[in-house]
Amino acid sequence: MKTFYAAASYGTAFDLHRVRRRTVAVLSVAQLLSSVGSGASLSVGSLLAVQLSGSNAWAGSVTTAVTLAAAVAALPLAGLAGRRGRRTALVTGQLAAMAGCLLIILSTVSGAFPVLLLGAALLGLGTAANLQARFAAVDLADAEHRGRSLAIVVWAVTIGAVAGPNLIRPGAAVGEALGLPALAGPFVFSAAGLALAALLLLFGLRPDPLLLAARLRTAGAPQAGNVHGVRRRHGLRAGLRAVGKSPRARLALFAIVAAHGCMVAVMSMTPLHLQLLSEGPMAGMEAGHVHAASTDVLVLIGFTISLHIAGMYALSPVMGWLTDKTGRLPVIILGHGLILTAVCVAGFGQRQPVLVTVGLVLLGLGWSAATIGASTLLAESVPADDRVLVQGVSDTMMGAAGALGAGFSGLVMAGLGYQGLNLAAAALAASVLAVAVAAAATNRAAAAAA
């Protein structure tokens, strides 16, 4: 290991190329394994919340807990990465998420709603780690392939996340075999996947990409007071100051936060909307009814969320390729254009499950393009020493937007219906689209003048 590390620290092309490939491969497989947990929580979280709380008003509480915890954990995990490296931060997040899955299983047995929320919060730490993994993929990437490296790791989520919602039926069989409720079954698979992901990262992510990147930048001479060569700056305020110095970074952060807020708000209420739609016109939220979903409805929900998640991740390599070939801004514009189209299709087609599903797929595609394009732009728009801090701020703001989207989505849906919720998301996507188009026009004008 010492010989390899020394060779890499001098920038030997073969060794560095091998480390890059190994890093992306390990991160990708770990994302595949850990994403089963997020897929399961998305598909049955709102149903569990309604079942254990006894009220539709709490439908978005699980998603809120997951996203809020991810937002709170993002900066501490970024600080941990800066001090100890990506491996330590990512393993910590995966183990916390595994504990969260076990608590969610316990909540289904005990019927304790607070235990469900605590488990969801711990699952959010895994979400924060998974978000950080996409930035770990670009720690060592060269400028020409940043979008591709980031997209490959994002794409790896596809198999696990798509499988998660479809584990409802086999999960019910596992739950029955273990003496557990049906909705607890998918989280058994999730806990196992998270455990395997943690082990893979612990033993496979060597050398640590962030610490190696710092060593390469400093040519083996770390900055004073920091043995790893990574600047120890912490705090949301410091990160926002770093973002504020770059108009490109500000736009990237806005695009990331808005895309995630729109996606989470609409996605988190779609399972409940489909359940209510299947029960007929008298089953609206205003009626205050709480029913156990039938198996057919659970399968429909699982299928819809699976296709949505496939839209989020399956074409990530294409989005990464477009980001590298056409530029960051065009992909951001494409992403928010797709989000705007998606919420209009789902909102105006709210009575047709097929149109709702099409809207959710487009929503996933828009999130993918906006997140990959904007994340790549953000990573290259700030100095290298500020990058980890700014990435932590990005994940914090992203998680906060998701928490707000999930938290208020139930209230908006109760007051304005599913269509009103989608139209509110449309307004946010349109505002980002306008800013991005204006920035692209300014760049073209500047290039023409030059």
Average pLDDT, the chain: 82
Query: In the chain, how many domains are there?
Result: 1
* Across 289-300, average pLDDT: 61
**Best CA proximity match to 71, nearest among 142, 150, 141, 131:** 131
Alpha carbon 225 to its chain's center = 34
**CA distances (Å), origin 338, targets 23, 305, 359:** 31, 17, 9
CA distance 183 to 106: 11
Q: Kindly state whether residue 83 falls inside one of the protein's structural domains.
A: yes
Contact (Cβ atoms closer than 8 angstroms) between residue 132 and residue 160? no
Q: Is the predicted pLDDT of residue 7 greater than 50, yes or no?
A: no
Burial of 303 (0-12, 13-18, 19+ CB in 10 A): middle
Q: Kindly state whether residue 331 falls inside one of the protein's structural domains.
A: yes
CA distance 112 to 116: 7
* Across 404-417, average pLDDT: 85
CA distance 341 to 3: 53
Determine what percent of the chain is predicted with pLDDT higher than 70.
85
**For residue 422, what pLDDT is reported?**
95
CA distance 34 to 49: 22
Contact (Cβ atoms closer than 8 angstroms) between residue 355 and residue 302? no
Q: Is the predicted pLDDT of residue 410 greater than 70, yes or no?
A: yes
**For residue 219, what pLDDT is reported?**
56
**For residue 4, what pLDDT is reported?**
46
Q: Kindly state whether residue 223 falls inside one of the protein's structural domains.
A: no
Q: Kindly state whether residue 40 falls inside one of the protein's structural domains.
A: yes
The Cα angle at residue 364 between residues 362 and 367, in degrees rounded to 5: 110
The string of pLDDT tens digits covering residues 166-221 is 666 777 777 778 888 877 878 888 888 899 999 999 999 989 998 888 888 775 44
**CATH at residue 285:** 1.20.1250.20
**For residue 287, what pLDDT is reported?**
39
**CA distances (Å), origin 20, targets 25, 124, 126, 149, 158:** 9, 28, 23, 9, 21
The string of pLDDT tens digits covering residues 337-368 is 999 999 999 999 988 989 999 999 999 999 99
Question: Cis ω on the peptide bond leading into residue 207 (within 30° of 0)?
Answer: yes
**CA distances (Å), origin 255, targets 125, 156, 172, 401, 425:** 23, 22, 39, 11, 13
Q: What's the sign of the alpha-carbon dihedral 353, 359, 361, 364?
A: negative
> In this structure, which amino acid lies at residue 180?
L
The string of pLDDT tens digits covering residues 242-278 is 899 999 999 999 999 999 999 989 998 888 888 888 7
**For residue 135, what pLDDT is reported?**
82
DSSP string, 389-411: HHHHHHHHHHHHHHHHHHHHHHH
Contact (Cβ atoms closer than 8 angstroms) between residue 212 and residue 218? no
Q: How many Cα atoms are found within 13 Å in the side-chain-facing hemisphere of 22?
A: 15
| 3-class SS of residue 223 | coil
Determine what percent of the chain is predicted with pLDDT higher than 90.
34
CA distance 20 to 359: 36
Count Cβ atoms below 10 Å from residue 106 Cβ, excluding itself: 17
**For residue 315, what pLDDT is reported?**
87
**For residue 400, what pLDDT is reported?**
85
430 or 131, which is more confident: 430
Q: Is the predicted pLDDT of residue 84 greater than 60, yes or no?
A: yes
CA distance 134 to 80: 16
Question: Which positions ≥6 away from 198 have C-beta within 8 Å?
Answer: 91, 94, 95, 98
CA distance 224 to 227: 8
* Across 113-128, average pLDDT: 92
CA distance 326 to 372: 13
126 or 170, which is more confident: 126
**For residue 403, what pLDDT is reported?**
78
Contact (Cβ atoms closer than 8 angstroms) between residue 393 and residue 251? no
**For residue 197, what pLDDT is reported?**
94
**For residue 234, what pLDDT is reported?**
61
Q: Kindly state whether residue 226 falls inside one of the protein's structural domains.
A: no
419 or 161, which is more confident: 419
* Across 143-169, average pLDDT: 74
Q: Is the predicted pLDDT of residue 292 greater than 60, yes or no?
A: no
The string of pLDDT tens digits covering residues 36-79 is 656 666 667 777 888 898 877 787 788 778 878 888 898 899 88
Instruction: Show the domain range for 196.
Output: 2-217+233-449
The string of pLDDT tens digits covering residues 25-45 is 999 999 888 876 566 666 677
